[in-house]
Structure 1
């Protein structure tokens, strides 16, 4: 009966149903027909559900009207018989951008314009059938003529001679083991099987052959060190007693009867060096195995500790830390204190230091996690604090507070203290409420200073004349500013502040001018004092009265700089005269001479 899965289209399904019903009787025919009808129904429904369509760019795609599925590739149910044949051999069809058809191979990525040709199943089956028939004929006419299965029989002397010839022809040397002779020569040379009932005899002949080698063979074997090494290493691998810690003296006892060791002409040092290389390789393999085991153990230990350190019952022991302390872990969950730890065979290779390092690694991970949580919390708090500051800044600039350049915190605090925007500012990071208030006051001060500068320039342009009374100046300045468009839109309080600043500025300038004049006057008086000292020091005669001195000094520049201030000049002269008398008195007093060396008051005697 033909399987429906092998058929290519619905028409073939129909033919199969007809032939099946006609060839089958009874219930078996009905069951088979019903199965085939069900298959045909699903095949027809599957083909009927798929539709071909084009998108906005003109590309062809396929969609299933029942399931809603869509795809670019044509469904297998819609493939024609030729397309199915191509797909069976790994080929598909496609079209270029200009609509030209081409073929490409899914595996080799080959593409061609011409359709590939394939053999039909009938063409492929014909040579297979012919080969099968030919093989059966050969098996029927096969006769067991193998020389290996039917070796010629010889006496032991003849067999020994031909066995040695076989060894010589195959260039067997001391690097060969007897097992290698069995596997390589026993399967190809019938001379091996001339005496097939005595393997011990064959091995004795092999050792006899090795003992009777010629000098040429021995010299050749001596030069082929690499060949010896490979064979010697293979022999060492077969000795399971040799471990990575085996010494050469012990190994020699184990391999003393081995052919390659007993009959080899290679130096003993080469054999020992080869053995040491093999032992080193075993040690490296063991280290690698231990490394892999330790790596696996560390991985399992990390999972074990992570499960313990994050469990709720362990963390609920009153500790304020998010991890278990090392001492608590050591007393309850590590080494012989815990059956689960002891039961893990991989943990046997771990030391206390290894366990501690894994614990510290997990602690660092927990620390990093806590830091990350803290950073995220700080980020959220930063956003929250920033919003609180922004809302408080809006409150400070609201009309209900009317903060001015000269406002004080004590003036606005009674209004702010119960405001929710102010309360949300408390305890936040960054600038405090007082800092933000001072920022607003500073902004107002800067704005007020700029407006004061504008008003000052306006007074200069208008040629404003100042009076001694401040009330007159204030009224005149307000009247002048009220006529300017720039100040008309300003608040009355701001205008008053500007006028106040202008008045204070004028007073400060007046004060500065007085200070400058005072410094100049004092400088002139000082110059007059210096002139008196210079004038009368050169004349070496000092007048007794100011009237006499005035006649001497009236033409000097310093005298004229003091102007009409005759009293000031007289006072300065009297001061000069009195100072000169004190100097003369100090000079006329004779000093008291002493023969002792004067000592400084800070000097201490050493006796």
Structure 2
């Protein structure tokens, strides 16, 4: 198996190909879980390995439901206790070849360090962000890099016996290591090492320099080379950014000089500024980028100014037209009264129409609100008038001596209420009218007559009497009902003479043969208005047959 699974000092897993000397963060396709010692240890601790949509690896514990970005500490501890070569790899000789980690290779720089490769700077910007933590291990802070090293790691450093005898203090060893690292970095700078150098080329160029051998651990020399490249990438990135900003400022001044507007096209702009010296110094893609940025800012400023002007003119037009718009205002006439071209150039006919519709809607809403208020007020007044008239009808029998019956006529009732204030007040309101209350009285009295008719019929039936035996003698019917009905309490003193008369007529009507009833009904239907009126006068308005 050519791939090895390693862990850096921050607990991040990466992969090294011993055949191609390639190093990468992502797991190779031909490296399976069966080949991974880490996956086996994760499974024992109920940990699972997951990859986000962005390609970042994290770990989840199914038991504790904990999520971490770095390799769990318990797994790192087991790897270290088992002496697995996961976190470190011991070099087998001075001729160790390696390649840079993916996604942290900085852009190239020419020998005189003056030309800037714009395309590479843009392509590597995302990569530099991904190694932000590694950049923290800058050259000045190299002392902190190996302070966590234990005695087993320090035993790998080959030092002379005489030198080991002179070192009695652990801090002294650390200081000497720091100086060795600083010397190693200075050596790389003097040799002009850049991102195009592999570690093999570094060894071939620096192997005769004593400073190279002051760091005796091959893996540590490789780490120092990577740290140097990260710092170099930072310097190049800053140089690219600074140079790009300087070009942007200069190019912007040129655009201002040639009075480029927000509507200027790129082809037109090129013809205007082609003779400027800065034009030949900047790549075409970068010039177009600067142009789009500048024109975009001008367009935003123009749109903002136009929006402000339009709002001011719209407010002024609203103030002018709102009082003039009525419910029946015509839009055509309203438009003729507005001079859009001179007074309101930023507005259109559509704006006037929108304003007109909004004002009309407001007017309609105001009208509906007033209408609802009036309806509420009228409803309260109508109800008060009805209540007053109802009270008047209840007081009439006591005040005027009127007796309500099924034969009561509207004309009779009208003579009692004509001059009453409650009647006059009710006449002008909606809802129930005075005659509606009259029919309510007739319905109520008819219901009482119907009940009394049923009582008389029961008396006749119980005593085996026939209504036809009384002929048309109402008085004899009355006496008989009192005689036979009063003895058992069926007929009471509540029966008035008018009640006996009306009940007698209704009972006789019920006893008529069917043919005679139909003839009588036909006569009523086809009779003249006078005949109908005569019949109603006899039976009373609202009398139920």
TM interval, short-chain normalised: 0.3 to 0.5
> If you compute each CA radius of gyration, which structure gives the higher value, 1 or 2?
1
Q: How high is the TM-score relative to the length of structure 2?
A: 0.43
| Greater RCO, CA 8 A, separation 6+ | 2
